[in-house]
Amino acid sequence: MNEKHFETEAIRTQLERTQFTEHSVPLYLTSSFLFDDAEDMRASFAEEKERNIYSRFTNPNTSEFVDKMCKLEGAEAGYAFATGMAAVFSTFAALLNSGDHIVSARSVFGSTHTLFTKYLPKWNIETSYFKVNEVDSIERLIHPNTKILYAETPTNPAVDILDLEILGSIAKKHNLLLVIDNCFATPYLQNPIQFGADLVIHSATKLIDGQGRVLGGVTVGSEDLIREIYLFSRNTGPALSPFNAWVLSKSLETLAVRVDRHCENALKVAEFLEGHRKVNLVRYPFLKSHPQYEIAKKQMKLGGNVVAFEIKGGVEAGRKFLDAITMCSLSANLGDTRSIVTHPASTTHSKLSEEDRLEVGITDGLVRVSVGLEHVDDIIADLKQALQ
Ligand SMILES: *Cc1c(COP(=O)(O)O)cnc(C)c1O
């Protein structure tokens, strides 16, 4: 994908130094940029030269972050957003017209699902869903007006895996844009463009920041599609702040080492849970018992940092488990250095009917652990005493 290795690109892709010969890239907190004269200003607005004009369009720090993400995902171009949801919304809004149709996996991030069901229909854009384990039903959902095939893998919170190669070939056969939310895997573990994705979206808020500090999002992909997304965003204003871009670009320097350790810890946590008598089922992509283990091995470098398991005793047991946790955080984020435990049935997904919950793999006793970077023995000890 690149001339240099992932870790090197993540560290050595950076802005040229200024006259101050700084080693670490400085922060460019400026809303606009100066022109030399009337001709420079005219040529800049006419896009005859590539340069910064206004930070709603581009800024050196956001450009550095985007360039790095492009190298790490093997993409031609990208645009950075204030949040992951701004990336998701702007991507759809820039590329779709009234009357267009989306085919999406049913298991998508909650706000993305709300976008599909509540907001895009306002502009006459409808979505049809397939279950993660029924990729063979996708072709039946495709209509002449279908434009985008959309999925996340691994999914949240049930950690299902979708076969990117199959999605890529369906998209190609039917001339659809394949858009993948790669947030759970990060570019270090999985590069959907290799499997035929046209666009890859990230919530940089998660493992890319990795330390629970800033929100951010990014979409990368082919030059022509990003051009549309850029023009839409330049005029509608979802841009990432230079400060957050600066934080996120620095975070990418350590992504590989952090994610390696996240995955090592997560596998140990998954193995511990698999042997526990109060646990019915453990979901982790790199456990042999995972139903899509072979697919995970094919498309991911490691299994990621999220482990889902079903505690015996349903909703009540799930709530009691959360109350008994002493070290891990009860919080809505994931991919943080700090391990985070959630119980979707009584919290994030409590408004869904039981039938809808089961459709996306959320049983009453399902617990999601975002395994952090504390010592793995301490993470396991906390889970163990809470299970007791
Ligand atoms: C968190 C998340 C988002 C939304 O990102 P924000 O930065 O919170 O807006 C989108 N997709 C997935 C898979 C996520 O986990």
Q: How confident is the model at residue 254 (pLDDT cuts 50, 70, 90)?
A: very high
Of 48-52, 198-202, 323-327, the one with minimum mean pLDDT is 48-52
Q: In what order do the strands lie in the sheet with 199-203?
A: 77-81, 217-221, 199-203, 177-181, 146-152, 101-105, 126-130
Nearest CA to ligand 1 atom 4: 84
Q: Is the pLDDT of residue 1 over 70?
A: no
**Residue 160 maps to which CATH number?**
3.40.640.10
**Does residue 275 fall inside a structural domain?**
yes
Pocket test for ligand 1, best of 203, 209, 214, 349 (most atoms within 8 A of CB): 203
Nearest CA to ligand 1 atom 2: 203
68 and 123 within one domain: yes
284 and 241 within one domain: no
**Distance, CA 85 to ligand 1 centroid (Å)?**
6
CB-defined site of ligand 1, < 6 Å: 83-85, 109, 152, 156, 181, 183, 203, 205-206, 215, 217
194 and 78 within one domain: yes
313 and 234 within one domain: no
Mean pLDDT for the stretch of residues 163-182: 98
200 and 57 within one domain: yes
177 and 41 within one domain: yes
Q: How confident is the model at residue 358 (pLDDT cuts 50, 70, 90)?
A: confident
Residue among 61, 62, 72 nearest 7 (CA): 72
Integer Cα distance of 334 and 341 in angstroms: 9
Q: Which two tokens stand for residue 346?
A: 């009584």
**Residue 283 maps to which CATH number?**
3.90.1150.10
Q: Is the pLDDT of residue 2 over 70?
A: no
Number of domains in the chain: 2
260 and 171 within one domain: no
Q: Domain range spanning residue 380?
A: 255-387
Digit-coded pLDDT (tens) for 182-208: 999 999 999 999 999 999 999 999 999
Q: How confident is the model at residue 172 (pLDDT cuts 50, 70, 90)?
A: very high
65 and 146 within one domain: yes
Nearest CA to ligand 1 atom 6: 84
**Does residue 1 fall inside a structural domain?**
no
Per-residue H/E/C for 314-343: HHHHHHHHHHHCCCCECCCCCCCCCCEEEC
**Does residue 191 fall inside a structural domain?**
yes
**Does residue 150 fall inside a structural domain?**
yes
Residue 388 half-sphere exposure toward CB, CA atoms < 13 A: 7
Mean pLDDT for the stretch of residues 53-70: 98
203 and 280 within one domain: no
Scanning the structure block, which residue is given the tokens 């809505």? Answer: 332
Q: Is the pLDDT of residue 56 over 90?
A: yes
Q: Is the pLDDT of residue 46 over 60?
A: yes
Domain boundary among 220, 252, 284: 252
**H or E stretch covering 117:** none
Pairing of strands 306-311, 366-370: antiparallel
Mean pLDDT for the stretch of residues 278-285: 96
Domain boundary among 218, 252, 286: 252
Nearest CA to ligand 1 atom 7: 84
Q: Are 96 and 145 in contact (CB under 8 A)?
A: no
238 and 184 within one domain: yes
Integer Cα distance of 66 and 249 in angstroms: 9
329 and 269 within one domain: yes
SS3 of the chain: helix, strand, coil, percent, to 5: 45, 15, 40
Q: How confident is the model at residue 58 (pLDDT cuts 50, 70, 90)?
A: very high
Residue among 373, 267, 271, 388 nearest 328 (CA): 373
Integer Cα distance of 171 and 352 in angstroms: 30
Nearest CA to ligand 1 atom 12: 109
Domain boundary among 234, 252, 270: 252
Q: Tell which wins on pLDDT, 274 or 358.
A: 274
Nearest CA to ligand 1 atom 11: 109
383: CB partners within 8 A, 6+ apart: 269, 272, 273, 325, 328, 341, 369
**Does residue 223 fall inside a structural domain?**
yes
Mean pLDDT for the stretch of residues 261-270: 98
Q: Which two tokens stand for residue 126?
A: 């409808």
Pocket test for ligand 1, best of 180, 202, 205, 342 (most atoms within 8 A of CB): 205
Digit-coded pLDDT (tens) for 90-107: 999 999 999 999 999 999
- Atom of ligand 1 at shortest distance to CA of 87? 9
102 and 189 within one domain: yes
